Structure 1
Amino acid sequence: MTVLPADGLSLAAEFPDPAHEQWQSLVEGVLRKSGKDVSGSAAEEALSTTVEDGLITRPLYTSRDDATDAGLPGFAPFTRGGKPEGSTAGGWGVRQRHGTPDPARLNEAVLADLENGVTSLWLTVGDAGGGVPVSGLARALAGVHLDLAPVVLDAGAELDAAATELLRLYAERGVSPQSARGSLGADPLGQAARSGAAPDLTAAVHWAQRCAREYPGLRALTVDAMPYHEAGGSAAQELGSSLATGVAYLRALTESGLGVEEACAQLEFRYAATADQFLTIAKLRAARRLWARVAEVCGAAEAGAQRQHAVTSPVMMTRRDPWVNMLRTTLACLGAGVGGADAVTVLPFDHALGLPDAFARRIARNTSTILVEESHLARVIDPAGGSWYVERLTDELADAAWAFFQEIERVGGQAAALDSAMIAERLAATWAGRKKNLARRKEPITGVSEFPQLSERAVEREAAPSAVAPGGLPVVRRDEAFEALRARSDAHLAATGRRPRVFIAALGPAAAHTARASFAANLFQAGGIEPVHEPVEVDASSAGAAFAAAGTDVACLCSSDALYAEQAGEVAGALVSAGAQRVYLAGRPGDFAGVDEYVHAGCDVVAVLSSVLDRMGVA
Structure 2
Amino acid sequence: MADKKEKLFSDFSPVSTEQWMEKVTADLKGADYEKKLVWKTNEGFKVKPFYRMEDIEGLATLNALPGEYPYLRGTRKNNNWLIRQEIRVTDPKEANAKALDLLNKGVDSLGFSINAKELSAEYIATLLEGVHAPAIELNFSTCQGHVVKLAELLVAYFDKKDYDVKELRGSINFDYYNKMLTKGKEKGDVVQIAKALLEAIQPLPYYRVLNVNALTLNNAGAYISQELGYALAWGNEYMQQLTEIGIPAGLIAKRIKFNFGVSSNYFMEIAKFRAARMLWANVVASYKPESLSDCENRGPNGECRCAGRMQVHAETSSYNLTLFDAHVNLLRTQTEAMSAALGGVNSMTVTPFDKTYQTPDEFSERMARNQQLLLKEESHFDKVVDPAAGSYYIENLTVSIAKQAWEIFLKVQEEGGFYAALKAGSVQKEINETGKNRHKAVAQRKEILLGTNQYPNFTEAANGKTPVGSTCCCGGNDNCEKDVQTLNFDRASSEFEALRLETEASGKRPKAFMLTIGNLAMRQARAQFACNFLACAGYEVVDNLGFPTVEEGVEAAMKAKADIVVLCSSDDEYAEYAVPAFKALNGRAMFIVAGAPANMDELKAAGIENFINVRSNVLETLKSYNAQLLK
Superposition TM-score, scaled by structure 1 size: 0.90
AA matched with 1:489: T
| 1:192 matched to 2:180 | yes
Q: Which residue is 2:75 aligned to?
A: 82
- In the alignment, the residues of structure 2 paired with residue 510 and residue 358 of structure 1 have an alpha-carbon distance, to the nearest angstrom, of 49
Deviation string, structure 1 residues 121-171 (Cα, Å, up to 9, x no partner)? 1122237xxxx9546555443432223222112224242343344334434
What is the distance in 2 between the residues matched to 1:504 and 1:379? 53
1:238 is the counterpart of 2:252: no
Q: Percent identity?
A: 31
**How has the CA–CA distance of structure 1 residues 134 and 326 changed in structure 2, closer, same or farther, with 3 Å as cutoff?**
farther
How far the C-alpha of 1:463 sits from its partner, in A, is 8.9
Task: State the distance in 1 between where 2:584 and 2:465 align.
Answer: 47
8 Å contact from structure 1 (residues 223, 268) kept in 2? yes
Pairing of 1:429-440 with structure 2 (within 5 A): 429-440=433-444
For 1:50, the equivalent position in structure 2 comes to: 40
Compute the displacement of 1:367 (Å). 1.1
| CA displacement at 1:605 relative to structure 2 | 0.4
**Per-residue deviation, residues 3-35 of structure 1 (Å, max 9, x unmatched):** 99xxx8644222111011111121122211xxx
Structure 1 residues 97-496: aligned runs within 5 Å = 97-99=86-88, 101-126=90-115, 134=119, 138-157=125-144, 158-198=146-186, 200-201=189-190, 202-211=192-201, 213-300=202-289, 301-456=305-460, 458=462, 466=470, 468-469=472-473, 470=478, 471=482, 472-493=486-507
1:548 to 546, 553, 558: 558
Whether the aligned pair in 2 keeps the contact of 1:340 and 1:382 (CA below 8 Å) is yes
**Offset from partner CA, 1:242-285 (integer Å, 9 cap, x none):** 11111111123323433222111101111111221111101101
Could you tell me how far apart the structure 1 residues matched to 2:430 and 2:468 are? 30
Q: How far apart, in 2, do the equivalents of 1:124 and 1:190 lie?
A: 16
Name which of 24, 32, 36 aligns with 1:27: 24
Secondary structure (helix, strand or coil) at the match of 2:173 reads strand
**Count, aligned residues:** 594
Asked if structure 1 preserves the Cα contact closer than 8 Å seen for 2:112 and 2:139, the reply is yes
Pairwise mapping of residues 529-608 of structure 1 onto structure 2 (< 5 A)?
529-533=539-543, 537=547, 539-575=549-585, 577=586, 579-588=588-597, 590-591=599-600, 592=603, 593-608=606-621
* 1:191-227 deviations in Å (ceiling 9; x for gaps): 221111126322222112333x311121221111012
CA distance in 2, matches of 1:375, 1:269: 26
Conserved 8 A contact 2:526-2:594: no
1:358 positional shift: 1.2
Q: Does the CA contact (< 8 Å) of 1:48 and 1:56 recur in 2?
A: yes
Q: C-alpha separation between the residues in 1 aligned to 2:136 and 2:465?
A: 28
In 1: Cα distance, 2:143 partner to 2:469 partner: 15
> 2:511·2:542 contact (CA, 8 Å) conserved in 1?
yes
Q: Does 1:63 align with 2:53?
A: yes
Q: Distance in 1 between matches of 2:501 and 2:130?
A: 43
Contact in 2 for aligned 1:321/1:456 (Cα 8 Å) = yes
**Which of 504, 507, 519 is the equivalent residue of 2:529?**
519
Length-normalised TM-score, structure 2:
0.88
2:298 match: none
CA contact (8 A) 1:45 1:58 kept: no
CA distance in 2, matches of 1:106, 1:396: 44
Instruction: Give the aligned residue type for 2:430.
Output: R
Secondary structure of the residue that 2:275 maps to in structure 1? helix
Distance change >3 Å, CA 297–CA 589, structure 1 → 2: farther
Equivalent-residue separation in structure 1 for 2:615 and 2:2 (angstroms): 55
Write the letter of the residue equivalent to 2:418: Q
Retained in 1: the 8 A contact 2:578–2:593?
Answer: no
Aligned CA RMSD, in angstroms, stands at: 2.6
Residues 63/559 of structure 1: CA separation in 2 closer, same or farther (3 Å cut): same
Q: Which blocks of at least 5 consecutive residues in structure 2 are unaligned?
A: 290-304
